[in-house]
């Protein structure tokens, strides 16, 4: 193989969907002679795959662009060009405004136009003019991407659904990712088979509302579970509204479907949930979890929370804490409400003071941390099937995942990477477990 001629640097922000998209962008650029590099210094092509979800996420992009601009100028001194591309949700939301704010940017490309990247980059190279692609046509994107990928490990993301029609009043995703759209089953299966052939044992099905998958997510999971070599299936993120009986039942019937559910609730106060346009109540959410646990008693539960939504009173926040206490989380993400331009909630009265948000977030995090530690501690002395993913940080150490998505470290030979082996858990921390291989797996 000849060395790549041109150096490509991609920086990914935001959710797993962006991680998947970044991989696919690298895939379409490889045939043009681009090879990945892990630093923007001296790169020929720099892609920032951006996130717009909270103000901080967007600001990070502009400060990174400031640094990139200097590197671009540095490179220009040697007579070479650096092409700077802004992709992802900030690209979709802000479009050409990005180039006005940071003229070092050559090209702005929205999430549905990645298949056009080679052409767009070529055009940019010809004339540093016309350089905006941000319309919604998810079907074209997936038609144009090859089913073959170059997975780098034994786990992989696989996008099956994009976009959102829920319009939670705080959220930019319906505006940056467009309408709910599901990828046809055959292209998903083709991609999954290609991944399995290349040694991938676990796929995580991605979608902004993955359980709104047309044709039923449970049916898709069933079809994927039949693929030889694919032993673990996960999915995220789900909306409580789309948690149908079929999918719940699938958790009881399909052994390949892992017992971990990320089901964001956002708040425990019905008044706030209504203002968020979430279409579920605290009670209906807890009922859903009851049904899930009836199908799969050991289900690990995860969620997202927002504190300080406009109008949130102490009593509303207490209701969130009550809900958290009732659930018992294996993991969770919590955020301070961030007003996003153009979303309905940004214009609501009763915006909550920053100090109040800080205090609520801290209290919520203490509770979630206690729950996460308790969930992990409950695994001690159990033997769990662990998918060994990679070498650990120390020599002789391996790192893998339990069915509940916990990181597990143990000593063992590198030959076990890609295998699912029984590990006896000996200790637990907040973020990971440690254990020992069953004697059959450990070297003599």
Contact footprint for ligand SAH (CB under 6 A): 53-54, 170-171, 173, 208-209, 237, 239, 264, 266, 304, 306, 335, 337-338, 340
Q: Are 153 and 110 in contact (CB under 8 A)?
A: no
Report which residue's Cβ sits closest to ligand F3S: 14
Q: How far apart are CA 391 and CA 409, in angstroms?
A: 9
CA distance linking residue 73 with residue 82, whole number of Å: 9
Residue 78, φ and ψ in degrees, nearest 5: -90, 5
Answer with the entry of ligand F3S, ligand SAH, ligand SF4, none that 174 interacts with (C-beta below 5 to 8 A by kind).
ligand SF4
- How many CB atoms are located within 10 Å of the residue 383 CB? 13
Nearest Cα residue to 86 out of 69, 146, 33, 340: 69
Which is nearer to ligand SF4, 13 or 404 (by Cβ)? Answer: 13
218 binds, among ligand SF4, ligand F3S, ligand SAH, none (CB under 5 to 8 A by kind): none
Q: Tokens 């060395």 map to which residue? A: 3
Q: Report the residue number, 172 or 332, with the smaller CB distance to ligand F3S.
A: 172
- DSSP letter, residue 183: -
Q: Please report how close the Cβ of residue 330 comes to ligand F3S at its closest, in angstroms.
A: 21
Cis peptide before 88 (omega within 30 of 0): no
Rg (CA), the chain: 23
Distances (CA, A) of 171 to 52, 88, 159, 165, 431: 9, 16, 20, 11, 28
Distance of closest approach, residue 156 Cβ to ligand SF4, in angstroms = 22
- Give me the 208-227 binding string for ligand F3S, x by CB under 6 A, dash otherwise: x-------------------
14 contacts which partner out of ligand F3S, ligand SAH, ligand SF4, none, CB within 5 to 8 A by kind?
ligand F3S
Reference 302, options 273, 277, 327; nearest CA is 327
Select the binding partner of residue 335 from ligand SF4, ligand F3S, ligand SAH, none (C-beta < 5 to 8 A, by kind).
ligand SAH
- Beta-strand ranges (E) seen in 222-298 are 232-236, 260-262
- On the CB side of 337, CA atoms within 13 Å amount to 30
Of 172 and 292, the one with the shorter C-beta distance to ligand F3S is: 172
Give the binding range for ligand F3S (CB under 6 A) out of 11-19, 123-131, 133-141, 249-257: 11-19
Contacting residue, 89, 117, 250, 398, with ligand F3S by CB under 6 A: 89
DSSP 127-156: -S---EE----HHHHHHHS-S-----SSEE
Give the interface segment with ligand F3S, choosing from 9-17, 222-230, 282-290, 341-349 (CB under 6 A): 9-17
For ligand F3S, the binding residue among 48, 53, 158, 289 (CB under 6 A) is 53
Quick check: 161 binds ligand F3S (CB under 6 A)?
no
Kind and range of the H or E run holding 63:
helix 55-77
Taking CB within 5 to 8 Å according to partner kind, which of ligand F3S, ligand SAH, ligand SF4, none is near residue 114?
Answer: none
Whether the CB-CB separation of 37 and 103 falls below 8 Å is answered with no
The count of other CB atoms within 10 Å of the CB of residue 13 is 21
**Which residues contribute to the site for ligand SF4 (CB under 6 A)?**
164, 166-168, 171, 173-174, 208-209, 239
By CB under 6 A, residue 171 contacts ligand F3S: no
State which of positions 279-308 bind ligand F3S (CB under 6 A). none
- Kindly tell me which of 72 and 183 has the beta carbon lying closer to ligand F3S: 183
């Amino acid at each position: 193989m000849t060395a790549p001629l041109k150096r490509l640097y991609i920086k990914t922000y935001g959710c797993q969907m962006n991680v998947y998209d970044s991989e696919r962008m690298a895939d379409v650029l490889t045939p043009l002679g681009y090879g990945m590099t892990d630093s923007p210094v001296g790169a020929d092509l720099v892609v920032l795959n951006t996130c717009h979800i909270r103000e901080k996420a967007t600001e990070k992009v502009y400060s990174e662009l400031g640094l990139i601009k200097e590197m671009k100028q540095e490179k220009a001194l040697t007579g070479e060009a650096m092409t700077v591309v802004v992709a992802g949700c900030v690209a979709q939301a802000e479009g050409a405004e990005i180039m006005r704010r940071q003229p070092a940017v050559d090209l702005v490309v929205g999430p549905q136009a990645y298949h056009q990247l080679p052409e767009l980059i070529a055009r940019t190279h010809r004339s540093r003019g016309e350089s905006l692609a941000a319309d919604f046509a998810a079907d074209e994107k997936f038609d144009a991407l090859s089913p073959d990928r170059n997975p780098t490990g034994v786990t992989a993301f696989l996008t099956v659904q994009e976009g959102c029609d829920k319009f939670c009043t705080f959220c930019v995703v319906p505006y940056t990712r467009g309408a709910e759209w599901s990828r046809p089953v055959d292209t998903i299966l083709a991609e999954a088979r290609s991944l399995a052939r290349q040694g991938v044992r676990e796929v995580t099905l991605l979608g902004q509302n993955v359980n709104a998958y047309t044709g039923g997510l449970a049916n898709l999971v069933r079809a994927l579970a039949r693929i030889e070599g694919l032993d673990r299936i996960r999915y995220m993120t789900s909306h409580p509204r789309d948690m149908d009986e079929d999918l719940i039942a699938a958790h009881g019937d399909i052994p390949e479907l892992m017992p971990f559910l990320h089901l964001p609730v956002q708040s425990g106060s019905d008044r706030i949930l209504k203002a968020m346009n979430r279409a579920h109540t605290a009670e209906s959410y807890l009922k859903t979890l009851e049904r899930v646990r009836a199908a799969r008693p050991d289900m690990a539960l995860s969620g997202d929370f927002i504190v300080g939504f406009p109008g949130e009173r102490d009593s509303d926040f207490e209701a969130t804490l009550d809900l958290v206490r009732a659930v018992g989380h294996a993991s969770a993400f919590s955020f301070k409400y961030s007003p996003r331009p153009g979303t309905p909630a940004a214009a609501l009265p009763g915006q909550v003071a920053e100090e109040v948000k800080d205090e609520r977030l801290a209290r919520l995090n203490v509770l979630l941390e206690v729950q996460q530690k308790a969930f992990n501690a409950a695994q001690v002395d159990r033997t769990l099937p662990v998918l060994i993913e990679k070498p650990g940080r120390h020599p002789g150490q391996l790192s893998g995942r339990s069915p509940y998505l916990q990181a597990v470290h143990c000593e063992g030979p590198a030959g076990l990477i890609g295998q699912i082996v029984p590990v006896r858990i000996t200790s637990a921390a907040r973020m990971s477990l440690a254990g020992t291989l069953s004697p059959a797996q450990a070297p003599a």
